[in-house]
């Protein structure tokens, strides 16, 4: 522990953590309500997860196991550096396995592996206000939340259908929490919205630049907004993951060459690796190729 | 028509510090009646309109409104939530500048549909059909439904604003210089349209204008304001043809005859 003596545990000072915990508790008490908090400068730029990092720093303890994902992946810059940050300032165990983590800080995905009641999901949120692009005045949007005037949210969905023939919003898809507050689920794909509904894990949202914290307590109703004649639907994919063969998961497109070659693979890298270790293979997995080559007679 | 008024205003005053916005205004408005408030710039017309529509709180005086269930409610004692609900269901407000009353960045159809969605309509097909119907009633082509109001001319924007306000069939509409800033032929068409809608729907309206011709065409009754006070009120034709107060006489005689 001597090597981190220059830092307070988990970087933030105790008074700050106390302030943030109070905001978190208020957020949990009023599901979906955006609680203002005195966001601190963090040693990373805004937009890199300063809100999520502050929430994580306030709830993490020495026994926690941290997982950090960025668009589902454990190995991208944002995920690697935040994981390294907490390893250094809190000396906690880190993992890439969803099932082993107690705190999962995420940028824009919810892991495919179902979460349990002992886990906390911390979202990094760029713009917490779902009404922002329709109503620029903060005083007005707060009033609209207070008076439950959410007609405007449907104006946005109406515009989608009028322009594209269907609700074309694919991420940051607005949800109503516990029948009261309309909430921006952060820019997660709408594929993940149903996972928020009555999730056993606590879900916390931190927006550092916008200085807001909000929360979805365990087993809370999270309903995606829609029209009666245009119901909410999640994205579907024509093919399973090219590496692990998983269906019903969110896929990323990966460009393979400059001749139009591409493949769709799991956005959740941990899920994909797990499946491959368990012997599942997609049509582009190296194992499949080896197996095919072994079968074909050499010419 | 019922034998009870829709709106009762009594001794309404609004002061900006020691300056007078409007002072001691008293009148009743009946269902289906159009009341014009005329006067020169700075005479307190808009202050009065803003007080009545609860966009401003008056310094003293009362205003009561008969709700759809027949109950009288004191406007300035209602909660903000109730006032805002009234504002987007039973009332309308037509601004002089359509950009103030429209959402300029969403399509015409969404502008008309917003109030329906605000009161809980969640059926896209129905909302769109209503929007199409209302656009045609204000003489906007159906194929402009997905255009943003930014692409509309001034007259079209004003008509769109009217459609947006009338879609929930309000009983009372406030209009602040609805024809201001439009050229005369467009004005004439808009007035014609407004007159038709007001008659068809049995709307009550309070129209603030400095244009006596607008008052003559639209209203049954008018109030003339000067320096925040009502100097004369009565049937529109009577006031315009036989003005009694010196100021009204001056106002009527200043109209340019072409």
For residue B3, the model assigns a pLDDT of 79
- In our burial notation (b when 16+ CB lie closer than 10 A, e otherwise), range A109-135 reads bbbbeebeeebbbbbbbbebbbbeebb
Where does the pLDDT of residue A299 fall: very low under 50, low under 70, confident under 90, or very high at 90 and above?
A: very low
* Percent over 70 (pLDDT), chain A: 95
CA pair distance A141, A118, nearest whole angstrom: 34
- Directed axis angle between helix B154-166 and helix B108-118, to 10°? 20
Spatial separation of the C-alpha atoms in residues A217 and A201, rounded to whole Å: 8
Judge: B124–A227 Cβ closer than 8 Å, yes or no.
yes
Residue-wise pLDDT tens digits, B4-33 = 999 999 999 999 999 999 999 999 999 999
Angle, alpha carbons A288-A291-A292 (nearest 5°): 85
Contact A162 B107 (CB under 8 A): yes
- Strand stretches in chain A, DSSP E: 35-36, 65-70, 93-94, 103-107, 120-124, 175-177, 181-183, 202-207, 212-216, 222-224, 251-255, 262-266
DSSP string, A74-141: SSSHHHHHHHHHHHHHT--EE-S-GGG-SEEEEES---SSPP-TT-EEEEE-S---TTTTT---HHHH
Q: d(Cα A181, Cα A150) in Å, to the nearest integer?
A: 9
Does any CB of chain B come closer than 8 Å to the CB of residue A139?
no
At A22 the pLDDT is: 97
The backbone torsions φ and ψ at residue A280, rounded to the nearest 5 degrees and listed phi first, read -85, 140
pLDDT band for B184, please (50, 70, 90 cuts). Answer: confident
Q: A223 and chain B: CB distance < 8 Å anywhere?
A: no
Residue to substitute from B103, B119, B124, interface A, most A β-carbons within 10 A: B124
Q: Rounded to an integer, what distance in angstroms lies between the CA atom of residue B95 and that of residue B155? A: 13
Q: Does B149 reach chain A within 8 Å, measured CB to CB?
A: no
Paired residues of B74 in beta bridges:
B64
User: What region does A48 belong to: left with phi over 0, alpha with psi -120 to 50, or beta?
Assistant: alpha
- A126 neighbors A186 (Cβ within 8 angstroms): yes
State which H helix or E strand residue A273 sits in.
helix A269-277
Q: Is A244 a catalytic residue?
A: yes
- In degrees, rounded to 5, the angle at the alpha carbon of residue B50 between the alpha carbons of residues B164 and B183 is 55
CA of B151: how far to CAs of A68, B73, B154, in Å? 46, 41, 10
Residues facing residue B12 across a β-bridge = B25
Choosing among B122, B146, B164, which should be mutated to test the A contact, i.e. which has the most A CBs within 10 A? Answer: B122
Nearest Cα of chain B lies from the Cα of A162 at a distance, in angstroms, of: 7
Q: How far is CA A100 from CA A72, A82, A103, A267, in A?
A: 16, 18, 9, 19
pLDDT at A133: 85
Contact B12, B47 (CB under 8 A): no
Partner-chain contact A151 B117, CB within 8 Å: yes
Task: Write out chain A residues lying below 8 Å of B128, CB-based.
Answer: 162
Residue B80: list chain A partners with CB under 8 A. Answer: 143, 147
Number of CB pairs, chain A paired with chain B, less than 8 A apart: 57
Is A229 within 8 Å of B125 when comparing Cβ atoms? Answer: yes
A266 a catalytic residue: yes
Of B117, B123, B146, the CB nearest to A155: B117
- A-interface mutation test, from B110, B121, B125, B130, most A Cβ less than 10 A away: B110
Q: B146–A147: do the CB atoms touch at under 8 Å?
A: no
Is A179 annotated in the active site? no
Q: How far apart are CA A208 and CA B112, in angstroms?
A: 37
H or E element that contains B248: helix B246-253
Chain B residues touching A163 at Cβ < 8 A: 107, 146
pTM exceeding the 0.90 threshold for the entire prediction: no
- At residue A284 the predicted structure's pLDDT band, cuts being 50, 70 and 90, is confident
Asked if pLDDT for residue A1 goes beyond 70, the answer is no
Residue A285: the pLDDT is 84
Write the pLDDT tens digit of every residue in A202-252: 999 999 999 999 999 999 999 999 999 999 999 999 999 999 999 999 999
Taking an 8 Å cut-off on Cβ atoms, the answer to whether B84 and A149 are in contact is yes
């Amino acid at each position: 522990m001597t090597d981190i003596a220059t830092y307070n545990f988990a970087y933030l000072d105790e008074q700050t953590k106390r302030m943030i915990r109070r905001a978190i508790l208020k957020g949990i008490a009023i599901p979906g309500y955006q609680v203002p908090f005195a966001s601190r400068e963090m040693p990373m730029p805004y937009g890199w997860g300063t809100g999520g990092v502050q929430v994580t720093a306030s709830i993490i303890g020495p026994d926690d196991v941290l997982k950090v994902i960025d668009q589902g992946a454990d190995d991208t810059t944002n995920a690697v550096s935040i994981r390294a940050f907490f390893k250094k300032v809190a000396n906690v165990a880190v993992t890439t396995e969803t099932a082993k983590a107690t705190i999962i800080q995420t940028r824009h995905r919810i892991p495919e592996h179902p979460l349990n009641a002992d886990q906390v999901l911390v979202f990094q949120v760029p713009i917490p206000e779902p009404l922002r692009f329709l109503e620029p005045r903060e005083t007005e949007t707060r009033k609209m939340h207070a008076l439950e005037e959410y007609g405007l949210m449907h104006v946005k969905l109406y515009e989608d259908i009028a322009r594209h023939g269907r609700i074309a919003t694919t991420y940051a898809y607005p949800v109503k929490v516990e029948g009261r507050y309309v909430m921006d689920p952060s820019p997660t794909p709408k594929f993940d919205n149903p996972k928020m509904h009555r999730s056993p894990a606590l879900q916390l949202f931190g927006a550092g630049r916008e200085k807001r914290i909000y929360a979805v307590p365990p087993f809370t109703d999270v309903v995606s907004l829609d029209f009666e004649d245009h119901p909410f639907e999640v994205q579907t994919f024509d093919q399973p993951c090219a590496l692990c063969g998983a269906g019903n998961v969110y896929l990323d497109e990966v460009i393979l060459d400059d001749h139009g070659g591409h493949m769709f693979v799991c956005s959740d890298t941990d899920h994909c690796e797990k499946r491959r270790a368990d012997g599942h293979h997609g049509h582009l997995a190296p194992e499949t190729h080896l197996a095919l080559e072994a079968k074909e007679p050499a010419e | 028509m019922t034998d009870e008024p829709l709106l009762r205003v009594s001794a309404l005053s609004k002061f900006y510090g020691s300056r007078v916005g409007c002072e001691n205004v008293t009148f009743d408005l009946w269902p289906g009646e159009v009341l014009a408030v005329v006067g020169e710039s700075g005479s307190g017309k808009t202050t009065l309109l803003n007080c009545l529509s609860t966009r401003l709180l008056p310094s003293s005086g009362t205003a009561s409104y008969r709700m759809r269930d027949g109950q009288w409610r004191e406007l300035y004692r209602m909660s903000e939530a109730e006032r805002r609900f009234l504002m987007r269901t039973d009332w309308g407000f037509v601004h002089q500048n359509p950009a103030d009353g429209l959402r300029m960045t969403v399509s015409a159809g969404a502008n008309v549909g917003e109030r329906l969605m605000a009161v809980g309509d969640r059926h896209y097909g129905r909302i769109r059909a209503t929007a199409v119907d209302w656009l045609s009633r204000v003489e906007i082509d159906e194929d402009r439904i997905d255009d943003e109001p930014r692409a509309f001319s001034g007259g079209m924007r004003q008509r769109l604003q009217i459609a947006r306000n009338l879609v929930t069939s309000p009983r009372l509409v406030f209009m602040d210089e609805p024809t201001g800033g439009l050229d005369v032929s467009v004005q004439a068409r808009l007035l014609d349209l407004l007159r038709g809608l007001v008659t068809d729907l049995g709307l009550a309206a309070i129209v603030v204008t400095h244009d006596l011709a607008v008052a003559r065409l639209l209203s049954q009754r008018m109030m003339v304001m000067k320096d925040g006070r009502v100097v004369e009120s009565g049937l529109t034709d009577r006031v315009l043809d036989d003005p009694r107060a010196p100021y009204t006489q001056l106002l009527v005689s200043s109209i340019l005859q072409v």
